[in-house]
Structures are given as structure tokens and as C-alpha cells.
Amino acid sequence: MKKLIALVLAVMMLVPAFALADDVIKIGVYEPASGDSGAGGKQETLGVQYANAKMPTVKIGDTEYKVELVIADNGSSTDKAPSAAQKLVSENVSVVLGSYGSGVSIAGSQYFKDANIPAIGLTCTNPQVTAGNTHYFRVCFLDPFQGTVLANYAYKELGATTVYCLGELGNDYDQGLINYFKQAFEALGGMAIVDSFPNNTADFTSYLSNAAGYNADVFFCPVSIAYSTQIIQQASSQGLEIAILGGDTLDTNVVVDAAKGTSVKVICTTFYQEGANAEFDEGFKAWLNENPDMMTNNGGNDMISAVSVMGYDGYVTALAALQAAGSINGADVMAALPSVEVDSVSGHIKFDENGDAIRTSAFVKTVNNETGAWEFVAEQTVE
Amino acid sequence: MNLKRSKKPMIITLALVAAVYIAVFIAEQQLPATSMLFTVLKKGAVYALVAVSMNLLNGFTGIFSLGQAGFMLVGAYVYGIFTIPVVQRAAVYQYFDGGVIQFTVPIIVAVIMAGLAAAFFAFLIGLPVLRLKSDYLAIATLGFAEIIRAIFQWNGLGPVTNGSNMLRAFPNFNDFNIKDTQGNVTVYLSTLIPFIMAGVCILLIVLLINSSYGRALKAIRDDEVAAEAMGINLAHHKRLAFCVSSFFAGVGGAMLAMYQTTVQAKSFTSAMTYEILLIVVIGGIGSVTGSVFSSFLFVACSEWWLRFLDEQQTIGDFQVPLLRNGFRLVVFSIIIMIVVLFFRRGIMGDKELPDLLSRRAGKKGRAVK
Amino acid sequence: MWDTVFPYLLSGISVGGQYALIAIGYTMVYGILRLINFAHGDVFMVAGIIMVYIAASGLPLWLCIPLVLLITVGVGFLIERVAYKPLRTAPRMSVMISAIGVSYTLQNLVLYITGGLNKQYPTIPWISDTMVIGPAKTKVVTVVTPFLVILLVVALVLLINRTKIGMAMRAVSKDFETSQLMGIKINNVISTTFIIGSFLAGVGSILFFTNYPTVIQTSGAMPGLKAFVAAVFGGIGSIPGAVIGAFIIGIMENIIKGLDVILFKAGLTSAPLGLATFSDAFSFALLIIILLVKPTGLFGEKVTDKV
């Protein structure tokens, strides 16, 4: 009997399951909804969802297509990434957006490549995501650039000579950015000490003691939201006096909430400064306030995270590519993407030969510990 | 195993297995390569091998080891390290100047090396650990898996292991497809090859289980003291089982690397071992066919059939409550608890497919008389 | 030198105390059932999550804490009744698998409820305040923890040595079957053990998450395993052993995190070696060494296998 059941189930496995209506176009959203990067992934997805709510259809040739988002949770981990990527591939999406976190983007890359589906990275800043392939594009800046901006800022503006860098073991984003930061910072004449913590660490007190032990002037921790909030809170109770510096992952309301009411100075580089595009800001906030679920996914308030903006811009880019391709076939979209140019919320997007958006500036922000809001510090460019 | 078993059930089993392989081959040529079916089949094949290798220890030798993820990690890394094309090494080992290893070996050699490396680690670990008893052994092997993970993540070994960063760009299952000069696939083999690899390995394990060594292992499982009194060298046999099991876990790790296309030490956690252990339990501790069946079932449920539980569904106007991200895993764990508590023997108990077939044949035979 | 090492010692003592409270649960359950209760670390995590949700509901904190402890105790009791009691006569391996299953279930349940996101632990007044001690600044809870642990351990030892139920516990852990024959209600004793274990895990979770205020479904896994290692290290079944083991592991773990700095400052190394990578693995190395050198742990009783 049990064998029979097993056989029946085995037969079920052979039944392929997909049906495609003619006037629907599917865009895959390959983002973490759980794990260390879950909070960031959800905010990035919100940007895409908002864009989809605003632009639910796209006209390709003479046909008006309804855009359907297929969301797959890659669990912030490279071992769950394959099945999430496969899910999108098996749903025949035309283009994939994502992911938050460079590691999972690289882990899913091969699946999209094999299925001839182009992917547009939204905030995965590690150069390895697009290097050496023709199917992965990205709308944000890269880590060598961001690392240099941060190093310049630490050295010139904060006057640091020793920086303590802390990243998560096995997180390609952390390790990559720290590596580029270290290169740039040591080229300037400073000293960068690199340390790593195993994943699922909750106790950062000893790492904070390490920073003090090395007499560091800046604590550089471009880590996931999950860890950065804990580091800030523990820094506060240990009375850390030096500034905490981070990359684009720190630009989120969760970090602001953690730093509010403390004396910890938090500085980060990011893609977008709230207020730069009033129309988008208002629209997005109104949309969040209408949807309580979305508000929860945004961390409980309507502060705009730069990753949401990048999600929005990625969606706009994807639609432009679909229109340029004049087809919903992944391979055609891939062929059309390199020449796509759009003007969107975060600025002008145009791809270089690697498929990376050409970006020459990043925003530097700091948390106002009293009001609990981001304050604009500078717009940094690197030649 | 009874000695006078008729050959008929064995033949039927072999025919069934052959039919499965043919079906896989045909399905792969006919169905679109993007179907979720192939994901399930590939991952299922990998897990089947790993589960059977774990069963060899836990089910057939009575050694309750929880180190499987550690040995898979060793296998996956060894495979990755020795097969990443030299031109790609500068990109993969970007923080370590391209790494120290600047050659590749053929895939099949790398897979065997993966197994041997895992077996070697097992040999070293086995020296102290196998002296321990049941749950102490479990926790010690679990600990060793964590230690292995930390060692592979250590930056000091970066030029070889790439530190904690991922290994990628090595040959994966899709590279087994035969392509014409334009790069279009003519014959799909990306699912059949893992099936063949897992099949050969499982066959070897079955042969071992049915050999005199295998009988000795079962004797150890049933009663260590009695087995020793019968003249079985406990230490020797346990070490053998531990190394063999780890060898195949290492091969399974290499296959997992091929399936995932990237490898990172971070993901080989004790949760992975627990998952494999639960597969073994669902299949039936002490049944190779059970482990194989339950691997495919487990993977299909978790990756495919139960996925709908993670998404909001509406039937007519009725919005089904509770469904959202994560519900699949809740349902899944409840199913597992039910199996663990009420169907402790799992799908197959300690029976194999030929046993079931011969029982049926036996019944028929009696009916004729 | 002292100024360099002191902060790590402080972190170590604090986290060690929290491990100790979890370790007691492991050691008591193992002492009686010979079961590694893999789900114990997750009970600790569940206590944290319950606190998050109860505090979010707006109840005053002085009510939240007893409520959380009560519910945690209930969870521990329920787990034993549902997942372990039906397997009383089954092989030990089945029970351990059931424990792994419970751990898997609890983690997935919390993943589902929280949506996979970190939850912010509420700030408990006074113990969350910052204080200066020697050359370091820390939370009050860091200093409170070791004293509270000692207090609870003394109470527990008194309970075990002076009360009737304590005597029953000792009898059951000495010989399961015989004590059953002597008329001890085994199930009550086991339930009491789980209740005490869960209570202490609940207290531990309040202290732990006050120090490291985010809770996620995997929060309990590592502290749980380390607490188990501590229990084995101290000698399974021995409560003072578990506590001492936990403090040693907590301190060593933090020293390893800071070893790069200490070596650097002492002038022994010129660049960091990345030794913090081994902060988790170290506990397991310690476990294996103790198992090989002194399998009964520091204070464990000699157990002879009967044939």
C-alpha cells in the first residue's frame, strides 16, 4: 500500500504544471524575505511592488500586457537560492529583479543564465555579480566605487588613521566591500584591520572591545541589517565613542530606530536621499499608508529606504527593456538591455560594457540621534 | 536476508530501476528543461545518496553520527577547488590573488577525490570519536562538523579554500548536456548523470551491506557485546563503516556543489544534517530503498508540491487563511513530527523493495498451492 | 594588559551565566531521561519571542516577565508530554530524533509567525541601563547575571537535596526502572524536570536578550548547543558542573574573539590572524577533548554500562 502511494506520487512528479495566459507578462522578484537580509529584501521588494501598483501594465508592440510579479524568497542563503531561482525559471518569467545581497545573486546567476533569462541586480554591489557574464545587469553602483568613497570619507572627513572593519564570514557583500575599503584606505596611508564573525552571532560585545583594543578611529561594519542594529545597540551600551561607518545596507529605518536616543554616530553611503524626488516620496508614502501589510514590511513606519528606490528603478528599467525588445521572450530582453537608457528616481541609468549602471556619485548620510532621521552629509564622487 | 530468496523480486526491482532511468532520460528530452521536475529529480538524487550514506551508519551499523554536513562540506570544497577552470580562478579567488592551486582535474577524478578527502577526515575524526557511546558520539560528530566548517572558513587557508567566500564557476550538472557547435543542447543529460552517479554509489553501498562486512555491521548494531564475542573486530568495522559512509557523503557533497553551482561553507550547518536525518527516519532507519524514496518525496514536497502554501490563495472569493511565507515549513515540520511519533518505522521500516515484492510473490505462491 | 583582557572577561562572565541557565535544563533532563533535549535551545528562543509579543500587546513589564516564564514553562511541559512521553519505551535514538523534530518545528513555527525578520526585544528597565565597571562600560545585566545564576543554583540544589520531589529526581536519575518499582511517579518527576529546565531557560532568555536584544528563529540554536557542551564539560547530571562549564565556555569564547587583539598588544603578532572564526568551533573542540580525556566531565559520576 505504501509502495502504491509512493508510485502515485512518483507519477504526479511527471506532470508538468504551467499555463500562461497570452496577455500576462511575468517579472521575477528574486529577494530574501527571511534570514539575515530579510528586512532589506522586503524593503527592496516593496519598491518593486509599488512600481507595479503604479505601472501595472506595459505596452509591447500593439499589445497591452498585464505585469505579474512572481516573488521567490531566496532565504538570504546560498543553499536556498537555487530552488528560489528555479521557481522563477519554471514560471517562465521574462526578466528577474534582484537580489538584495551579492552572494545570493551570484548563487542564482547560473540558473538564469542557463534559462536565457536576464537579471537586473538592484542593490547587489559586488563586482562579481556582473563580471564575466552577459545576462546579469545592475542599476546601482559598485563596491570598488563605494569602498573608495567610504575610505575617502573616513580618512579625509573623519580624520581616521586606523579603522576596525567587521564583516560576516561568508557574506560576499561584507567581505567584498571591506576588501575594497581596505585597499583604498591603505592607499591613502591609513591602517585597516579586518575581523569577521560567524553567522548567527548575537554577542558583539567582544568585537566592540576589539575595536577599542586596536585604538581604532572608526568602526566600519557594512553588515546586514540584522547585525548592524545589534552592533549599534551594543555599541551604545558599551559607550563606543567612535563613529560607526557602513555601506548601503545601513540605509534603512531599522538602523535609524536602533540609533535613535543613543549617542552612537552612524554614517553610511547610499543610493538615494529622501527628498530628492518629492513626487516619488509622496506617492510611496501614501501607498505604504494605505497598505498595513506593506507598512509592516517596511519596518513599521513610512521612512523611505534607498533599496526601495532601487527596486522601483529596477522595475522601470525592466519595463523599458521589455518595450525595447518588443517581445516577452527572455533572450530578446537580454539582447535589448545593454542599450536601454532610462531616467528614473535615482537618476539616469545607462549600462556600461559589463552591464553595470554608470554611477559617479553616492550620498553620505548620518543619523540624527535626537530626531531619529537621516541627515544628508555630502554627495561624494570619485573620478 | 534469507538465503533461499527467489531471484524473481530482484529481477523485478532491477527492471523497475531501469524503467525509472529510461523515464528520466525520455522526460528530459521531451519536457522543457526549466520544469521544476528536474530540480526535484537532481536534488532528490543528491539527497538520496547522502541519506543512504547516513543510513549505512545510523541504520545498519548503529552509529548515531551527526557529522554528515561536515563531510559533505569537505567533498563539495574538494570538488570545487580542483575543478574551477584556471581562467576563472583569478575572479573566484579575487581576494587571494587567484589562489595557490592552478590546475584542474577531470570531473570524475575530482568527485572521487572529494570522497577520499571526506573519508580521510572521517578516519582522523574516527580515531577518537568512535570510542564514544551513542549520544556522546552524536554530539561529538556534530561538534566536528562545526569545527570543519570553521576551518574551511578561516582566512588563513584562503589561498586554498577562498576563505569564507563562495566557490563558483566549476562544472555543474548542466555542463553534462551535449551541445552542438552553436551551443544548442542536442541531448539533455543534466538529470540522468546525477541519477547514474547516485545510482552507482548506492549500488556499491548495497553490495557492501549484503557482503560479510555488512552482516558484521548489522551484528554490531544489534548487539555490540555479542558481536565482539563472535570475533568481530568492533573498532575496525566501525571505522570502516564511518569512512565508507563519509566517502559517499563526500561524493554527495560534490554532487550538491554541482547542483547548487556555488559552494559556501556557511550553508553546511547542523540544520542540513538534521534534514538528512529526518529523511532517513521518514524512509525507515535501515532501509536503503526507504531512504531513496523519502529523499525524493522530501525534496518534492519542500521544493515543489507544498510551495503553494507559501503564497496567498483564493478559492472563489474565499481567501484561504494562514497561507503566507513560511507556512510550508510549518506544515512540513508537523508532518515530520507525526511520522516521528506515530509511524516510527517510516515508509519502509527496515524492508527493501525486493523484500516487499517477494512477500507478495510468496503470498501468491501459497495461494496457488 | 589587564585593561585589554578585562572587557572580554566581563562579556564572557555575562554570556557564561546565561549559558549556565540553559545548561542546567540540559543536564537535568539528561540525568533523568538520558536524552539530549535538542529542543531546549529553542525553548529558550521561544521564551524570547513570547516576550516580544507580550510586551508589544501593551501589558506592563512587571506583568510580562512572570507571564513569559509561565508560558515558557507551559511550552516545556507540553513538549515533554507530546513529543517525548509517547516514546518512553522506544529506543533512545527515536527520542533524540523526536527532539530534533521538535527543534525543527519550533524554529519553523517562529519563522512563520515572525515572517523571518529579527524581532526587537523590549527594554527592561534597570538591567538595561549602562554602568561603568573598571575600565569598561556595560549593561547592568552583565553584572547581575552571575549573582542571579548563583542564587538560582543554590535554590535548585536545596530543592534537589531537601525536598521530596528532589529526592525522587535523584532516585530516578540513579535508576529509572527501580525507582518506578519503588512507587515514584516517574511522569511527574520528568514533568517537574522539564518545568524547572524551561523556567531557567526562560530566565536565561530574559537576561540574554536584554544584553543582545534581537530575537530570530535561529537565536536558540548556538546558545543551546554551547550550553549542552557546557553540561557535558561539567559532567552531565551535575548542576554545579554545568554552571562552571558554562562560565568557562563563555569566557574562553570571548577571549578567543579578542585573542587577535591580545596577541597584537602583547607584540606576539604583527597582523590579525582571524582567530575569531573559531569562536564557535572552539567550544566543540573543548567538548571533544573532555570526552576523550575525562568522558564523565569535571564533576560527573562514573557510569558503568550494564550488559
- Give exposure, B118-150, as e/b (b: 16+ Cβ within 10 Å): bbbbbeebbeebbebebbbbbbbbbbbbbbbbb
DSSP assignment string, C251-294: HHHHHHHHHHHHHHHTTS-SS---GGGGHHHHHHHHHHHHHHH-
Find out whether A77 and A104 touch, Cβ atoms under 8 Å. yes
> Quick check: B227 contacting C, CB < 8 Å?
no
Q: Which of A196, A207, A233 sits opposite C274 (nearest CB)?
A: A196
Residue B361 confidence (pLDDT): 54
What are the distances in angstroms from CA B19 to CA A7, B286, B299? 13, 25, 21
Amino acid, single-letter form, for residue B170: F
Question: What pLDDT is attached to residue A19?
Answer: 39
Please name the chains neighbouring A, where neighbouring means 3+ C-beta pairs under 8 angstroms: B, C
Q: Chains touching chain C at 3 or more Cβ pairs under 8 angstroms?
A: A, B
- C87 contacts on B by Cβ (under 8 Å): 341, 344
Cα-only R_g, chain A: 21
Inspect the interface and report whether the beta carbons of C276 and A234 lie closer than 8 Å. no
Cβ contacts of C237 within 8 Å, gap of 6 or more = C27, C28, C30, C31, C173, C300, C301
Instruction: Write out pLDDT tens, residues A97-144.
Output: 988 988 899 999 999 998 899 999 999 989 889 988 889 999 999 999
Q: Of B37, B88, B262, which is closest to A78 when you measure between CB atoms?
A: B262
Question: Within an 8 Å CB–CB cutoff, is residue C15 touching chain A?
Answer: yes
Tell me the count of A-C CB pairs closer than 8 A: 110
- Taking an 8 Å cut-off on Cβ atoms, the answer to whether B155 and A92 are in contact is no
User: What is the average pLDDT across A70-98?
Assistant: 89
Q: Of the segments A82-86, A302-306, B76-80, which one has the largest average pLDDT value?
A: B76-80
pLDDT-derived band of residue B362, with 50, 70 and 90 as boundaries?
low
- Asked if the Cβ–Cβ distance from C83 to B341 is below 8 Å, we say yes
pLDDT given at position C301: 65
Separation of alpha carbons B17 and B11, rounded Å: 10
Question: In chain A, whose CA is at the least distance from the CA of C129?
Answer: A237
- Report the distance separating Cα A97 and Cα A121, nearest Å: 6
- Which has more pLDDT, A321 or C116? A321
Any CB–CB contact under 8 A between A219 and chain C? Answer: no
Determine the Cα–Cα distance for residues B236 and B244; give it in Å rounded to an integer: 12
Phi, psi of B7 (to 5 degrees): -80, -15
Q: Which of B:48-67 have CB within 8 Å of C?
A: 58, 64
| Residues in chain C, total | 307
- Cβ atoms of A47 and A251 within 8 Å: the answer is no
B324 and C105: CB-CB below 8 Å? no
pLDDT of residue B262: 92
DSSP conformational letter for A271: S
Contact C105 B147 (CB under 8 A): no
A363 pairs with which residues across the strands? A270, A379
Residue A28: the pLDDT is 94
Cα–Cα distance list, A229 to A45, A57, A164, A176 (Å): 21, 38, 17, 20
User: Within a 10 A sphere around the Cβ of B193, how many other Cβ atoms?
Assistant: 19
Q: Region B164-176: what's the mean pLDDT? A: 89
- Tell me the shortest Cα–Cα distance from B147 to chain C, in angstroms: 5
Chain B CB contacts of C283 under 8 Å are 143
**Average pLDDT score over residue span C293-305:** 70
Contact C261, C4 (CB under 8 A): yes
Taking only the tens place, the pLDDT of each residue in B188-229 is 898 999 999 999 999 999 999 999 999 999 999 888 889 989
Minimal-distance CA residue of chain C relative to B270: C221
Plot region of B71 (φ>0 → left; ψ -120 to 50 → alpha; else → beta): alpha
Q: What is the pLDDT of residue A21?
A: 46
Which of B40-49, B91-100, B344-353 is predicted with the least confidence, judged by mean pLDDT?
B344-353
Separation of alpha carbons C169 and C190, rounded Å: 8
pLDDT more than 70, % of chain A: 94
Residues of chain C with pLDDT > 90, as a percent, come to 43
Nearest CB among B39, B165, B261 relative to A172 is that of B165
Residues of chain C positioned with their CB less than 8 A from the CB of B153: 277
pLDDT at residue C304 tops 80: no
Share the mean pLDDT of chain A: 88
Closest Cα partner for C5 from A241, A204, A213, A193?
A: A213
Residues B138-147 pLDDT 10s: 888 999 999 9
Point out the residue among B35, B172, B262 whose CB comes nearest to the CB of A106. Answer: B262
For the cut 70, the answer to whether the pLDDT of residue A3 exceeds it is no
Whether residue C292 lies within 8 A of chain B, CB to CB, comes out as yes
CA distance B75 to B251: 6
Which pLDDT score is estimated for A8?
A: 56
Whether C116 shows a pLDDT value over 50: the answer reads yes
Nearest partner of A105 among A85, A88, A91, judged by Cα: A85
Q: Which of residues 135-164 of B touch C (CB under 8 A)?
A: 135-136, 138-140, 142-144, 146-147, 149-151, 153-156, 164
- Among chain A residues, the shortest Cα distance to C216 is held by A35
Burial of B99 per CB tally in 10 Å (0-12, 13-18, 19+): buried
Looking only at the bridges linking them, the beta strands covering A95-97 and A119-121 are parallel
Asked if pLDDT for residue A79 goes beyond 80, the answer is yes
Spell out which residues of chain B touch residue C291, defining contact as CB-CB under 8 Å.
128, 132, 136, 140
Which long-range contacts link B220-229 to residues 24+ away (Cβ below 8 Å)? B220/B61, B220/B62, B221/B59, B221/B60, B221/B61, B221/B62, B222/B62, B224/B62, B225/C307
How far, in Å, CA of C130 to CA of A241, rounded?
Answer: 14
3-state secondary structure (DSSP) of residue B20: helix
Cα maximum dimension of chain B: 76
**Is the Cα dihedral B213, B218, B219, B224 positive or negative?**
positive
Report chain C residues whose CB lies below 8 A from the CB of A35. 116
Q: How far is B3 from chain C (nearest CA, A)?
A: 29
Cα angle, residue C106 at apex, residues C56 and C228 outer, rounded to 5°: 105
- For A195, the closest of C212, C272, C280 (CB atoms) is C272
Distance separating alpha carbons of residues A153 and A148, to the nearest angstrom:
8
> Are C136 and A198 a contacting pair at CB < 8 A?
no
pLDDT for the residue C270: 77
Q: What is the distance, to the nearest Å, from the Cα of residue B34 to the centroid of all Cα atoms in its chain? A: 23
pLDDT (tens digit, 9 = 90+) per residue, A150-170? 999 999 989 999 999 999 988
Least Cα distance to A247 among A156, A197, A173 occurs for A173
The one-character DSSP state at B267 is: G
Sign of CA dihedral C235, C236, C238, C243: positive
Please list every residue in chain C whose beta carbon sits closer than 8 Å to the beta carbon of residue A253: none
Residues 6+ apart with CB under 8 A from B353: A3, B9, B13, B16, B289
pLDDT at position A16 is 38
For residue A43, give the chain C residue with the closest CA: C117
User: Which has the closest alpha carbon to C140: C125, C149, C127?
Assistant: C127
Residue A358 to residue A269: CA distance in whole angstroms: 17
Q: Quote the strand ranges of chain B, DSSP E.
A: 167-168, 178-179, 185-187, 262-263, 314-315, 318-319
Chain A residues in contact with C265 by the CB 8 A cut-off are 213
Query: How far apart are alpha carbons A249 and A228 in whole angstroms?
Result: 9
Dihedral sign for Cα A33, A38, A39, A43, please: negative
For residue B27, what is the nearest residue in chain A, using CA coordinates? A14
Tell me the mean pLDDT in the region B329-338: 89
Chain A residues within 8 angstroms (CB to CB) of chain B: 2-3, 6, 9-10, 12-14, 16-18, 33-34, 73, 77-79, 81-83, 86-87, 89-90, 92, 103, 106-107, 109-111, 114-115, 128, 131-132, 169-172, 175, 179, 196, 198-199
Residues of A whose CB is below 8 A from C214: 202, 226, 229-230
CB spacing of A207 vs C116 below 8 angstroms: no
- pLDDT confidence bin for A1, thresholds 50/70/90: low
In this prediction, residue B369 has a pLDDT band, given cuts at 50, 70 and 90, of very low
Q: Which whole-number Å values give the CA distances from B304 to A96, A346, B107, B298, in the listed order? A: 20, 37, 29, 10
Confidence (pLDDT) at A9: 52
Give me the pLDDT at residue B344, please.
Answer: 82
Closest CA to B166 of A172, C184, C23: A172
pLDDT digits (tens, 9 = 90+) for A197-232: 988 888 899 999 999 888 999 999 999 888 999 999
Decide: residue C188, CB within 10 A, 0-12 exposed, 13-18 middle, 19+ buried: exposed
Chain A CB contacts of C14 below 8 Å: 205
Compute φ and ψ for C306, nearest 5 degrees: -95, 145
| Domain ranges, ordered by start, for chain C | 2-293
Q: C128 contacts in A (CB within 8 Å)?
A: 237
A311, three cell numbers: 527596486
Annotated domain spans of chain B? 8-363
* Residue of chain B with shortest Cα separation from C101: B337
Which of B143, B154, B340 is the closest to C288 by Cβ? B143
A48 and chain C in contact, CB less than 8 A: no
CB contact under 8 A, B39 and A115: no
Residue C7 grid cell: 572587557
Cα angle for residues C119, C121, C127 (degrees, 5° grid): 165
CA distances (Å), origin B84, targets A126, A169, B105, B183: 20, 22, 9, 21
Note the pLDDT tens digit of each residue in C3-37.
Answer: 888 889 999 999 999 999 999 988 888 888 888 88
In one letter, which amino acid is A31?
E
Closest CA to C207 of A231, A203, A35, A238: A203
For chain C, positions 255-274, list CB contacts with chain B under 8 A.
273-274
Statement: residue C272 has pLDDT above 90: no
Write down the pLDDT at residue B322: 75
Domains of chain A as residue ranges with CATH: 24-141+277-351 (3.40.50.2300), 143-270+363-381 (3.40.50.2300)
Q: Check if the beta carbon of residue A28 is closer than 8 Å to that of residue A97.
A: yes
Q: DSSP string covering B164-196, please? A: TSPEE-S--GGGGSEE-TTS-EEE--TTHHHHH
Distance from CA of C252 to the nearest CA of A (A): 12
Structure confidence at residue B363 (pLDDT): 53
Q: Cβ distance A266 to A246 under 8 Å?
A: yes
The predicted-structure confidence for B10-52, as pLDDT tens digits, reads as follows: 888 899 999 999 999 999 898 888 888 998 999 999 999 999 9
Which chain B residue lies closest to C278 (C-alpha atoms)? Answer: B150
- Tell which CATH architecture fits domain C2-293: Orthogonal Bundle (1.10)
Give the span between the Cα atoms of A177 and C238, in whole angstroms: 47
B359-363 CB contacts, 8 Å cutoff, 24+ apart:
B361/B6, B361/B8, B361/B9
Is the Cβ pair A175, B261 closer than 8 Å? no
Question: What average pLDDT score do residues C48-67 get?
Answer: 92
CB-based contact C262:C20 (threshold 8 Å): no
How many Cβ atoms sit within 10 Å of the Cβ of residue A62?
Answer: 5
Grid coordinates representing B94 are 579575487
Report the residue from A3, A110, A131 with minimal CB separation from B356. A3
Q: Closest-CA residue in chain C for B284?
A: C94
Cα–Cα dist C220/C47, whole Å: 10
CA distance B266 to chain A (A): 6
Q: What pLDDT is attached to residue C153?
A: 92
